[in-house]
Amino acid sequence: MKVELDHSTQYSGAVRGPSKTRRLRVLHVGKFYPPHMGGIETHLQALCGTLTEHVDLSVVVSSDDRRTVDQVVDGVRVARVGTLLNAFSTSISPAVVSRIRSADADLVHLHLPNPTAVLAYLASGHRGPLVITYHSDTVRQKVLGALFQPFLNSILGRSAAIITTSPNYLESSPVLRAFRDRCHVIPYGIDTTLYEHRDPEAVQQIRRQYGERLVISVGRLVYYKGFDRLLRAMVDVRGKLLIVGDGPLRGELQSLATQLGISNKVAFAGEIQNARMAPYYHASDLFALASVARSEAFGIVQIEAMAAGLPVVNTSLDSGVPYVSLHQETGLTVPPGDPTALAGAINRLLDDPALRETFGRAGARRAQEQFSLDSMQRRTLQLYHSLVKR
C-alpha cells in the first residue's frame, strides 16, 4: 500500500493524519532468525532490532522443523513458520505465503538468496513497495541457480529498491548488473560497543587456556570459509589458532589438523554467542578470514574484530570482503586459497606489534564510522521513507 502525503502530513517513521497516528508496517522475510547461526541471520536480528523503534515491524522466517512458533525475540515479533521439507539447502515453508498476505504490510523487505521467500512473495499478491537486500549471488548450485533465474529476475524487476552491502559486490555481481538503477549501497552495521570494552580477567583466562601469539578465526565450518587453507597455513605460522564456530566440516578439519601435525597449535572452541565474543577477540593478536569463494559476500565478523581493535588478514575475493578491511590500512589482504601467502601475512603481523597496533586503531575507527548500527539504521529508514513518499 502506498501512502499519499499531502501538505498537512509529516512523515518520521509513522503515518500522521489529523486525528490518528499509524506507524509504517514493515514485514521482513528471511531464511532463519537467531539463535540460528549465520551472517544473514546476525544481520537480520541487528537490523530489525534497531528498526522496531521506528516502524511497526515483524519478521517471517522458516522453522527448523514442522512446528510454527510465534514469539517475541528482544522486542521483535518473529514468526518461525513450519518447514515441510528441506531440499538443496532450502527450507520449503508453504505457509510463508499466507503470512505475507495476512501481514497487510505497507512495505515488504526480502533477504536473498532465499527461493522460498521469492516464490512466496510472488504468490502473495502484495502490491506495496518491495525492498530486497541482495546478500549474495548463488555461487555453488549453478544448475539450480540457472533454473531459478527467471523467478529471481521477476522479483528483482518487481522491487522498488535493492540493497547491496558493498560497492564491490554491486560492481562484480552479474545478476545486479541489469538492475543498477534501483540499487543502493548500505553496508552491514553492528553494535560496535559490544566489542570495545576489555575485561582483563576474562582475557587472561582465555590466554591461559589457548596460549600467546593467538590468531582467531570465526565462522561456520563450511567450504567457502577456507578453514582448510588456514590450517595448512598454520604449519608455517609461529603461533596458535583458535577457531570459533561449528558446522558440517568440523570432523574433517580436526582430522586435517592431525594429519598436518598441528593439533597442538589449533583449538576448536565451537559456537560462542556474540554477546560473549569480546574477550576472545581481545585475547587474540589478529583476526584471519581465509574465505575462498564469493559465497562470502561480506564477512560481518571482520567488523566485530575491527571494533575490538584487531588487525585483519583477509582475502582478495571479488566480493565485499576486501572492502570491509582495507589492505595496508586496517590489515593485510592476500590471494584466496593461498596458504603460503596467508602464513606470511599472519607471521608478519605476529612479529610486528607496532604494525598490529596501527592497523588495529585504524580498524576500530573504520568500524565505528562506516559499519555502525546507527549508520545502517539511518540509511535504511531513509530508503523506506523515500519509497513510501512516492
Amino acid letter, 191: D
Mean pLDDT, rounded, of the chain: 91
d(CA 234, CA 3): 57
Q: Is the pLDDT of residue 6 over 90?
A: no
Per-residue DSSP letters for 305-341? Answer: HHHTT--EEEE--SSSHHHHS-BTTTEEEE-TT-HHH
d(CA 80, CA 83): 9
What is the pLDDT, as a whole number, of residue 338? 98
d(CA 270, CA 267): 9
The per-residue pLDDT for range 17-40, each reduced to its tens digit, is: 333 567 999 999 999 999 887 788
The per-residue pLDDT for range 317-350, each reduced to its tens digit, is: 999 999 999 999 999 999 999 999 999 999 999 9
Residue 99 binned pLDDT confidence (cut-offs 50, 70, 90) = very high
Question: Left if phi > 0, otherwise alpha if psi is -120 to 50, otherwise beta: which for 300?
Answer: alpha
The per-residue pLDDT for range 63-89, each reduced to its tens digit, is: 999 999 999 999 999 999 999 887 767
CA 153 to chain centre: 23
d(CA 298, CA 283): 24
What is the pLDDT, as a whole number, of residue 247? 94
Q: Is the pLDDT of residue 14 over 50?
A: no
The packing angle between helices 250-259 and 227-234, to 10°, is 20
What is the pLDDT, as a whole number, of residue 144? 67
Residue 92 binned pLDDT confidence (cut-offs 50, 70, 90) = confident
What is the pLDDT, as a whole number, of residue 10? 34
Please return the burial class of 380, using the count of CB atoms within 10 Å of its CB with bins 0-12, 13-18 and 19+: buried
What is the pLDDT, as a whole number, of residue 390? 75
Residue with cell 601475512: 345
Record the pTM.
0.86
Per-residue DSSP letters for 22-76? Answer: EEPEEEEE-S--TTS-SHHHHHHHHHHHHHTTTSEEEEEEE-SSS--EEEEETTE
Q: Is the pLDDT of residue 1 over 50?
A: no
Domain covering 14-189+372-389 assigned CATH 3.30.420.40 in the classification: no
Please, are residues 233 and 208 in contact by the beta-carbon 8 Å criterion? no
Where are the domains positioned within the chain?
A: 14-189+372-389, 192-370
Same fold for the pair 14-189+372-389 and 192-370: yes
Domain covering 192-370 assigned CATH 3.10.20.30 in the classification: no
The per-residue pLDDT for range 177-196, each reduced to its tens digit, is: 999 999 999 999 999 999 99
The per-residue pLDDT for range 233-281, each reduced to its tens digit, is: 999 999 999 999 999 999 999 999 999 999 999 999 999 988 899 999 9
Residue 145 binned pLDDT confidence (cut-offs 50, 70, 90) = low
- Cell numbers given for 83: 518447514
d(CA 28, CA 26): 7
What is the pLDDT, as a whole number, of residue 5? 28
What is the pLDDT, as a whole number, of residue 37? 75
Q: Is the pLDDT of residue 2 over 80?
A: no
Per-residue DSSP letters for 227-261? Answer: HHHHHHHHTS-SSEEEEEB--TTHHHHHHHHHHTT
- Cell numbers given for 111: 533477504
Q: Is the pLDDT of residue 305 over 90?
A: yes
Q: Is the pLDDT of residue 151 over 70?
A: yes
What is the pLDDT, as a whole number, of residue 36? 84
d(CA 232, CA 360): 25
Please return the burial class of 157, using the count of CB atoms within 10 Å of its CB with bins 0-12, 13-18 and 19+: exposed
* Sign of the dihedral through C-alpha 282, 284, 286, 290: negative
Residues 6+ apart with CB under 8 A from 318: 168, 172, 294
Q: Is residue 132 within a helix (H) or strand (E), and if so which, with residue range?
A: strand 130-134
Please, are residues 131 and 108 in contact by the beta-carbon 8 Å criterion? yes
The per-residue pLDDT for range 354-376, each reduced to its tens digit, is: 999 999 999 999 999 999 999 99
